[in-house]
Amino acid sequence: MTLATGARLGPYEILAPIAAGGMGEVYRARDGRLERDVAVKVLPERLATDEEARARFENEARAVAALSHPNILSIHDFGVEGGVAYSVTELLEGETLRRRLDRARLSIATAVELALPIAAALGAAHEKGIVHRDVKPENVFVTRDGRVKVLDFGVAKREAEAAGAPASTTADTASGYLVGTVGYMSPEQIRGEPVDPRSDLFSFGCVLYEMVTGSRAFRKATPADTLAAVLNEDPPAIDLRESGCPPDLARLIDRCLRKERDSRFQSARDLAYALENAGRSPRGAARRGRRRAIVSLAVLPFENGSAVPENDYLAEGITEDLINGLARDTKIRVIARSSIARFRSAESDPRAVGRDLDVAAVVTGRVTLRGTDLDVRVELVDAEDGSQLWGQRYRREVGALLLLEEEITAAVASRLRPRRKEPPVRASPRASSEAYDLYLRGRFQWNKRTEEGFEKALSFFEQAIALDPEFALAYAGTADAYVFLGGYGHLAPEIALPRAKEAAERALALADIADAHNSLASVLHRFAWDFPGAEAEFRRALQENPAHATAHHWYSLFLLTMGRFEESREEIERARALDPLSLVVWEDAGYWHYCRREYARAESEFRKVLEMDAGFLPARFDLAIVLSQRGAHAESVAEARQAAEAAARRPRPLATLAWALAAAGESAEARALLQRLETAPVSSRAPHFSLALVKTALGEKDAAFESLFRALERREDSLVSLRSNPRLDTLRGDARFEELLRRVGFPPVPVE
């Protein structure tokens, strides 16, 4: 019976339909008495007067009510209103196992992780004398926080009743509403013999086979042929190499699928015990002996298994620290964080990730925080065939997170070869657990790369330092926050520079780590204009961690501003190899061509970035600039105008639009924008360097130099592009330009 929004069944107000199937319609409803949302299930209208369907509906309610287990759907109520029978259960958010299987192939570790609670649920039902009789992926639900729930006890029978009741069948429940589902029923169900808990274990074996292989154990052209196959044929043998299935897990599945029930596991408890042990075996010995060396790796973003989004920072923090640790302690290529951001451990096929990122192996993981208890599951997967190389589960107090990250890094590194013999170096041996937690929150915000994110990050880093004044990583994070707030935020460079430099130097005084060297290098390059010192720090950062993608990237920009183009090109390509999907790295690869005055190639690179993400505004501004340089002024103005609107007409974007207008000869609008930018409140005023570019395009050379010297007084970071920026070409040769180069401290032009 279809229910309208706002209708009531007893004390429950119908809010919206959730799902509809052959045996029931499910709605989201509100229980006003307890102020909670619930799920209400009613018979479909065509079965409302069917006594057998009504009996099955009530049977399900009684069966579930007799059970109390975290992996079985909980029932709250049952009633009849206006002749409509309804049951009320907990409201689940997530998806069925069927939908999960249809979406992506499961890893072995995930299959075992999901199968264990199914076995536990069946064990709880069997102990109460209840046989489910319809175990299949459609009747298993995986919630958003990773909990597994077994559903639909509508055809369940108490064992005493089931022993004397013949079984009926359906073809994927498509015809009628008889008991069981073709392809998942046990041979004794098909033959109409009495069933017992071991019948459910056969069905469980069918489900686990499908989870491991991606294919159904028994599926023929017709339902009749499928039924015959269950009775007379064995399913295709599991290809251990292709599936990555450990031999003992394959043997477990085979035992579940024995035709004679006496040959199967005799209880769900025995099955669960064997399953847990089988899940710990990463590979067969012969397979391990033949495995090729791993030379490249991607660590996918760990899944937040908690139902609380605020815990995302924990998953991201573990991911980032594992990336950094493996990059530091192995000689393999480890993909940087920004390139793996669009993947998710729970949804991504490791083989597809391997193809996209050109890596040999993938690390996936899941972190769940319940109170102060931390549960972390990690898996190393071969990206060629999707097989599991290693997997482990860790249970710790949240206060031991830093030590746990080191333990996981060491464990994964020990499975990789070639590797360094010395043990991993602890990044910050004095960090307290509370301070480290705050640091992870700060990096989570900093990685958003927004002004608001930088401000929140700074607050978290400062709180971490207040708790632990000798925490080196927190000082490095503070330096990075000040660098970006001074370069792109509202903080004046003359304020940001000394604070950033002080924080970076303090980090290095506490620990000789790559992050601190890279932070100090950025400060020395962009604000202090200590170019020899900056290069020395970049080199030290890369010496400490040769796989530090950001250090390669920022060092490339440094070399570009020094006019050392070929060295810069090498570094940006190294960064791109380590961070192949990073939009900003690809953008700066195009910027390299732009500074070489290779405008056609630069345009091509910027368009590639926009193909990857049309909303990446820095590339759109760069495209507008290079289009103008190529004489496509109308298109340039259109791109710049669109990007400025998307950027909420902030000062720097408006300055780029004004420059494009001036270059296109639309001087009136360009001057109007320029005046607006110069007279705006200090907090909304564009940098003097940006104003100088607009004045240069307008042909106002004296005014342009006046703005450049004001930028010099404020130590604006854009001045490091004086030597390489094509938009300043009309000023070159003027004595004032040479004076600017001298005062910024550029070395002589290198000869390549």
> Any residues with CB less than 8 A from the CB of 99 and at least 6 apart, and which?
none
Task: Let me know: does 466 contact 457? Beta carbons within 8 Å.
Answer: no
Domains of the chain (ranges; CATH) run: 8-90 (3.30.200.20), 94-287 (1.10.510.10), 291-426 (3.40.50.10610), 546-630 (1.25.40.10), 651-752 (no CATH)
pLDDT at 279: 56
Q: What tens digit of pLDDT does each residue of 592-639 get? A: 999 999 999 999 999 999 988 888 888 999 999 999 999 999 999 999
Half-sphere exposure of 216 (CA within 13 A, CB side): 18
Task: Let me know: does 596 contact 573? Beta carbons within 8 Å.
Answer: no
d(CA 207, CA 202): 9
d(CA 530, CA 91): 61
d(CA 206, CA 137): 9
Residue 539 has pLDDT above 90, yes or no: yes
Q: What tens digit of pLDDT does each residue of 2-59 get? A: 788 888 888 888 888 887 765 678 889 998 888 889 999 887 766 666 777 777 777 7
Q: Within 10 Å of residue 157's Cβ, how many Cβ atoms?
A: 21
Residue 142 phi/psi, 5-degree rounding, is -115, 115
Q: Output the six-digit token pair for 24.
A: 């029931």
Q: Under DSSP, is residue 710 helix (H, G, I), strand (E, B) or coil?
A: helix
Q: Output the six-digit token pair for 135.
A: 């175990």
pLDDT at 154: 63
Q: What tens digit of pLDDT does each residue of 672-683 get? A: 999 999 988 766
What is the percent of the chain with per-residue pLDDT over 70, rounded to a whole number? 89
Residue 296 has pLDDT above 70, yes or no: yes
Task: Estimate to the nearest angstrom the gap between the alpha carbon of 453 and the chain centroid.
Answer: 18
Looking at per-residue pLDDT, the higher value among 412 and 492 belongs to 412
pLDDT at 33: 87
Q: What tens digit of pLDDT does each residue of 142-168 get? A: 988 788 999 887 666 665 454 444 444
pLDDT at 685: 75
Q: What tens digit of pLDDT does each residue of 424-473 get? A: 444 444 457 788 888 888 888 887 767 788 899 999 999 999 999 999 98
> Any residues with CB less than 8 A from the CB of 575 and at least 6 apart, and which?
336, 549, 550, 552, 553, 556, 582, 585
Q: What tens digit of pLDDT does each residue of 474-518 get? A: 999 999 999 888 876 667 778 888 899 999 999 999 988 888 999
d(CA 144, CA 149): 12
pLDDT at 269: 84
DSSP 186-213: -HHHHTT----HHHHHHHHHHHHHHHHH
pLDDT at 167: 43
Q: What tens digit of pLDDT does each residue of 348-379 get? A: 778 888 888 888 899 988 888 888 888 888 98
Task: Let me know: does 413 contact 419? Beta carbons within 8 Å.
Answer: yes
